[in-house]
Amino acid sequence: MSSWVKGLVYLLSALVCVGHLPAPLPTINTCIFDDIEPPDVLQKRQTYAHTQDVLREAGTHSHIPDVLQRSGTYSHTEDVSEGTRRTSDRTKRNTQTSDRARRNSRDLFQPLRITTWFHNIGSELGRAEQDSLRAVVQEAVGRITRALAVVPVQGPLVLGRNFTEICKFAVAANQPNAGKCSVAKTTYRGEICIAEFLIPDEHLEGFATWADTGDTPVQVLYTDGAGVADTDYILYVTAATTTRCQNDHSILAYASYCQLDQNNRPTAGYTNFCPVQLQGPGFDRDKFVMTAIHELLHALGFSKQLYGKFKDCSSSADPTSCPDRRDVVETRYGMNRITTPTVLNRTQQHFRCSWTDFGGPLEDRPTGVSSHWESRLMQGSIMTAKLGPPHLHTIDAVTLAVLEDSGWYRVDYTTAGPLVWGEGQGCTFGTEATCVTSDDWFCLGSSVGCHYLRLDKGRCESDSYLGACRVHKPQPGDECWKESSAPSTLQLELHGESYQEASRCFMSNLIKTGQGGPSSPAGRCYEHRCNSTGVLEVRVQGSPWVRCQFGSSIAIPGYSGLLECPPAGVLCRDVYPPPHTTATATTQADNCPTGNTQHNPPTSPPSCVPPPHTTPSHVTPSPHHCYSYNTG
């Protein structure tokens, strides 16, 4: 290679790294949350709905004395029996009242309110790219808030300051102002989330230094911020070319939680979108939405550092004061698994596994517990470590069950998408001992076959997350449902393929009569339809509709070879892609100068799943919304 060509290659590479040229969007996107999530963050007490009000409505009392604990003795058996009967009646009433209190405590839960706070996103993004980012975050937040409910914060949400970071010396324990800060550090610069984002002072509590005695501080270093009204969670959003973005171009975005409340529920999070991925014609809105949902679910609680902070509210009448949940993650059957009650129930139902401790399989990491599902068992879930094409992933019920079992959230499972991978396949599905095979889920060699959802073709491949297992992975241009993916007309006619909205992938060695003998079976795209009774029919170019009985092979008039009908369970049921919906949001009228938006989820469920869109729909904010593109 000549020196000037080498120089040009070096220059182009450098421009890509600093974000001046768009890098090619990767097919698979990696999540780095396991590597960046903080081991510990600040807790700040928040005010919640007064649970005692709920208990009072249920008729409970703070203390009901037991008749058998009264002073004195009983002189007759009848008296003892009567006392025991009264105790039993009171115990029964107390149990019934406690049950009512727990039922009423559920009324405390309201749809999760997330306020998005965009910071300085105009420094590296143009106006259209900023609009795209806002639309992505808006849809991701809307889909999550439709699924989750919390006990709402009363009054403004105000975040805390880390005492150990700001205070150099505290007042001595034997003084009236014991524990308060007497001397502040000069190095304190504010509350910084994962060493990248400086939380605005207006969202933070104040801080002062104190003498040993007295009711007035010596110096007020920071006044109390106003906080954020009508919200349960603040999501800070940036778009900066950070070191993390530069080091790995497979990263679209990353996120973390920043602070917790007194019950360990995350109350603030931060996410950064790598600008180079938002720029240029390769921008894929749907991929960014799924990535944003994935990262936000981490920041809301799907985190190895937060598993140990989960709460068990199963027997508590006060959802803001539950005991710690024990044994959230256990090692079972050679891997770490989340074994909380709802997750156990959901995984047993999904895999049809009778093992009582089967649980949610976490990624096999050499360094310990993971914040992602094991890919071999949970393909298609939003919370595997690598996300492929967005129409092949869903917010599944097993993932939502983790958040339910955290004790912080109530979940609307009607918002969950269907998880098809491994459905009904039993307890040993997806292990490296059983996956080295060629079936409807796994494959051998490097053949071109069908992705298990049949929306795409795919090449048999593995990766570092699959280990010895291989699956059919779609590549750009493998989408059967997308007309623009169609190859040349000659190739289409040779095998009778059709690329359109109703097309799906079938294994076939069909070839037009007179054009040669049948070849090896491969993934081919053919039009399909399902009648009202769930019967599958397929049409090859130039042939009539033919019934395709699940699990059989059929001949097609005008073609030599056979077409293999897929097993039951994927086609002729409502599956992917997820709906293209835009979350409804209201802009805080008194906060328009900052351009930050509060999301209040609608009460109605999402619409039915439509067929996939061949062109991503871009959403531009309505003109009446107040947006500022360089918020501080």
Instruction: Please tell me what DSSP assigns to residue 349.
Output: H
Q: Which amino acid is at 135?
A: A
Backbone φ and ψ of 396, nearest 5°: -95, 165
Q: Is 50 annotated as a binding residue?
A: no
- Token pair listed for 538: 């397929």
CA–CA dist 448, 459 (Å, integer)? 4
- Token pair listed for 235: 């999501």
Instruction: Please tell me what DSSP assigns to residue 163.
Output: H
Q: Is 451 annotated as a binding residue?
A: no
Contact 563, 556 (CB under 8 A): yes
Return all residues near 487 (Cβ < 8 A) that are at least 6 apart: 497
Beta bridge partners, 457, equal 450
SS3 per residue for 559-620: EECCEECCCCCCCCCCCCCCCCCCCCCEECHHHHHHCCEEECCCCCCCCCCCCCCCCCCCCC
Q: What sign results for the dihedral spanned by CA atoms 181, 185, 190, 191?
A: negative
- Token pair listed for 619: 């959403």
CA neighbor of 421 nearest in space, from 408, 435, 406 = 435
CA–CA dist 361, 428 (Å, integer)? 12
| SS3 label, residue 150 | strand
| SS3 label, residue 190 | coil
Contact 200, 206 (CB under 8 A): no
Query: Which helix (H) or strand (E) element contains residue 505?
Result: strand 503-508
CA–CA dist 189, 53 (Å, integer)? 41
Contact 42, 191 (CB under 8 A): yes
Residue 503 CB: number of other CB atoms within 10 A? 25
Alpha-carbon Rg for the chain in angstroms: 29
Return all residues near 212 (Cβ < 8 A) that are at least 6 apart: 171, 172, 175, 176, 177, 182
Contact 418, 575 (CB under 8 A): yes
Backbone φ and ψ of 81, nearest 5°: -65, -45
Backbone φ and ψ of 494, nearest 5°: -60, -40
Residue 63 CB-density burial (10 A; 0-12 exposed, 13-18 middle, 19+ buried): exposed
CA neighbor of 232 nearest in space, from 5, 69, 460, 49 = 49
User: Pick the catalytic residue: 37, 124, 295, 527?
Assistant: 295
SS3 per residue for 408-420: CCEECHHHCECCC
CA–CA dist 229, 331 (Å, integer)? 42
- Number of H helices and E strands in the chain, helices first, is 14, 32
Q: Is 294 annotated as a binding residue?
A: yes
- Token pair listed for 459: 């090449």
Contact 105, 51 (CB under 8 A): yes
CA–CA dist 462, 469 (Å, integer)? 6
Contact 208, 221 (CB under 8 A): yes
Q: Tell me whether residue 295 is one of the annotated catalytic residues.
A: yes
Which residues make up each annotated binding site for Zn(2+)?
294, 298, 372
Please identify every residue annotated as catalytic: 295
